[in-house]
Structure 1
Amino acid sequence: MKHISIIVPEGQSNLGTVACIVGAYEIFTRANDYWKEKGKKQLLTVELAGVSKNTDFHEGLLTVKPHTHISAIGKTHLILIPSLAHDYQTAVEGNQLLLDWMVKQYKEGAEIASMCSGAFMLASAGLLDGKKCSTHWSAADTFRTLFPKVNLQPDKLITDEKGIYTNGGGYSFLNLVLYLVEKYYDRQTAIFCSKIFQIEIDRQSQSAFIIFTGQKQHGDEMVQQAQAYIESNLHEKISVEELSSRFAVGRRNFDRRFIKATGNTPVEYLQRVKMEAAKKAFETTRKTINEVMYEVGYSDVKAFREVFRKITGMSPLEYRGKYNKEAA
């Protein structure tokens, strides 16, 4: 029988942390019950594991009592890390015992899955270096700054590489749990849990939920000026050559500095800023697709639709129908 450890972190957690712990425990427990109802032997033992007898959350509003201390677990097969509070560095520093234990277990063959901002704990242990990773889109810039060796992919809902799983933000951890249920049980059990808990199965992207603001916490003044120019001239069709010459920087050097500062190529940044403005227009106005397209500097409907779908995972029409009841 395999063992799953759901981590109960110490301090710097929030109600989202509790949601991850409770949600994962409930779904895995139900998967166990379903498996036994089919006349099969129980596959997994699921335990909450921590370093204290009780852990308080949200100023004592809720208390979680782990089943066991991590030192009592000789071997586990899967470790689940819940989301953390937004003071990530303090959260990581306060959980060093848990980190050391996780690294040891991983080296001995355990798999590890992080939910939402739990990826910060994984990355701080060096376990994500050179690997793909996702986290909450709102934490992406901070994550890139702290962990430049990690291949962050904030558009992805789930990553799966070398026994390490990560997922996007908020309650999308439920999709990760379904993914793991399928891995550890089978497809039919995952479908059953999907139906019982009414969670969309096989979601691949968190693109539609991203609110793009652009990485501004860097010290490159030229890039900041370029960002400001892009954002104040949405209606224009701006080329990267035009931008680089405007700031008297060679194209190759301009690209290099822009990527280093923002995590995006200049073309990606242009597209994301324009599509964010288009999304807002579709959410709040009755403007047609053509009207919005012209407002953000596109004249080719096909090109506009392709870029919009690439960034949001939906067509402009689908997006407007989803987020603007009046227009729909």
Structure 2
Amino acid sequence: MKHISILIPNEAVLASIVDPRTIFTGANDFLEALGKPAQFKVQLVGLAKDVKVHGGMFSVHADLLLHEVEKTDLIIIPAISGDLVTAVELNKEFLPWIVKQYQGGAEVASLCIGAFLLASTGLLNGKECSSHWKTAPEFREMFPEVTLVDGRIVTEQQGLYSSGGATSYWSLLLHLVEKYAGREIAIMASKIYALEIDRKSQSPFVMFNGQKKHEDDPIKKAQEFIENNVTEKISVEDLSSRYAIGRRHFERRFKKATNNTPVEYIQRVKIEAAKKHFETTGKNVNEVMYDVGYSDAKAFRSVFKKITGLSPIDYRNRYNKEAAVA
């Protein structure tokens, strides 16, 4: 039987504590209904017996205190909330325990921005990680030795797991159920809880908002120029000339400040504008393409799918109310 320890961090998001408990205890029920033994012993583990979460609105009762768990097989780190530097500090007592358990053979899975706690252990240094796209700039700033993978729902390396943002963590939970209890039980869980199984990307949900928390003023002005001239064709040469910086030096500074190359930034700004058109207007693909400064339909479709994971038509059909009704 697998021993699963679901941590109760201070400043935790309540659903990300309840949901893993629900799916693993539910998997036990599914197994027993098939005449098979339960696979999971699920316990909530905290630094205190009662932990206030969600800004103090709720209290979660721990089954065990941290020091009472000598050995476990899988640690679930729920999402945290509020100021993330403060939240990590409030939960620093968990960190050496997580490292010790991992070194003793346990696997560790972070849900959404629980990745900030997992990264704080140092276990992710030199490895890949998924988290919520919205906190990506802050994550990269706090943990430069970790490779944050944009868009991916589930990341797995050497017994360390992480998931994309918000309810994307259900995909990781299903993945873990399948790993420990088999495909049949994972499919049953996906049907009972109405979850899409094998979803790989959170790219369709990403809303691009350029990183401007830096002190490079010419680069910030270049970002604003790109964002204010979506309909225009903008080249790197134009930008470097406009701000009197040599092209190679401009590209290096832009990448350092924004975590995107100038070309990537231009593409992401244009595709974000295209997404808004598809969501809110009745324009067809060619009309939107021209509105965001593209004239090559093949190039537009290729960049759109690379960034969102969907074709322009599929995106419009999913997120435009009139198209969805039709």
Q: What pairs up with 1:92-107 in 2 under 5 angstroms?
A: 92-107=88-103
**Matching of residue 259 in structure 1 with residue 255 in structure 2:** yes
From 137, 155, 163, give the equivalent of 2:133.
Answer: 137
CA distance in 2, matches of 1:92, 1:208: 29
Displacement after TM superposition at 1:309 (Å): 0.9
Q: Structure 1 segments of 4 or more deviating over 3 A? A: 58-61
1:159 is paired with a residue of what secondary structure? strand
Per mean C-alpha deviation after superposition, the further-off stretch among 124-133 and 187-196 is 124-133
In structure 2, what residue type is equivalent to 1:96? K
CA RMSD of aligned residues (A): 1.3
CA distance in 2, matches of 1:132, 1:60: 33
Q: What pairs up with 1:258-277 in 2 under 5 angstroms?
A: 258-277=254-273
Structure 1 residues without counterparts, runs of 5 or longer: none
From 1, 16, 20, give the equivalent of 1:20.
Answer: 16
CA distance in 2, matches of 1:145, 1:270: 22
CA distance in 2, matches of 1:261, 1:86: 25
In structure 2, what residue type is equivalent to 1:88? L
Structure 2 residues without counterparts, runs of 5 or longer: none
Q: What pairs up with 1:165-314 in 2 under 5 angstroms?
A: 165-314=161-310
CA distance in 2, matches of 1:258, 1:32: 51
Q: Deviations over 1:141-195 (max 9, x none)?
A: 1111111111011311111111111111111111111011111111111111000
The answer to whether the 8 A contact 2:14-2:54 is kept is no
In structure 2, what residue type is equivalent to 1:216? K
In structure 2, what residue type is equivalent to 1:308? F
2:321 is paired with a residue of what secondary structure? coil
Q: Deviations over 1:197-234 (max 9, x none)?
A: 00000111111111101101011112111111111111
Displacement after TM superposition at 1:301 (Å): 0.8
2:214 is paired with a residue of what secondary structure? coil
CA distance in 2, matches of 1:196, 1:202: 15
In structure 2, the partner of 1:4 is 4
CA distance in 2, matches of 1:107, 1:259: 36
In structure 2, what residue type is equivalent to 1:92? V
**Matching of residue 37 in structure 1 with residue 27 in structure 2:** no
Instruction: Report percent identity of matched pairs.
Output: 56
CA distance in 2, matches of 1:58, 1:257: 39
**Matching of residue 82 in structure 1 with residue 74 in structure 2:** no
CA distance in 1, matches of 2:125, 2:243: 34
In structure 2, the partner of 1:62 is 58
In structure 2, what residue type is equivalent to 1:320? R
Displacement after TM superposition at 1:40 (Å): 2.6
CA distance in 1, matches of 2:55, 2:39: 36
Q: Deviations over 1:42-68 (max 9, x none)?
A: 322111111111112235432210111
CA distance in 2, matches of 1:106, 1:53: 24
**Matching of residue 53 in structure 1 with residue 53 in structure 2:** no
Displacement after TM superposition at 1:93 (Å): 0.7
2:93 is paired with a residue of what secondary structure? helix
CA distance in 1, matches of 2:107, 2:80: 19
Q: Deviations over 1:13-57 (max 9, x none)?
A: 3xxx21011111010011112223323333221111111111122
CA distance in 1, matches of 2:53, 2:306: 39
2:14 is paired with a residue of what secondary structure? helix
CA distance in 2, matches of 1:251, 1:106: 46
Per mean C-alpha deviation after superposition, the further-off stretch among 260-269 and 50-59 is 50-59
- Per the normalisation by structure 1, the TM-score is 0.95
Displacement after TM superposition at 1:262 (Å): 0.9
In structure 2, what residue type is equivalent to 1:7? L
Pick closer, same or farther for the CA change 1:59–1:255 going to 2, 3 Å.
closer
1:217 is paired with a residue of what secondary structure? coil
CA distance in 2, matches of 1:164, 1:216: 31
CA distance in 2, matches of 1:192, 1:241: 55
CA distance in 2, matches of 1:59, 1:287: 43
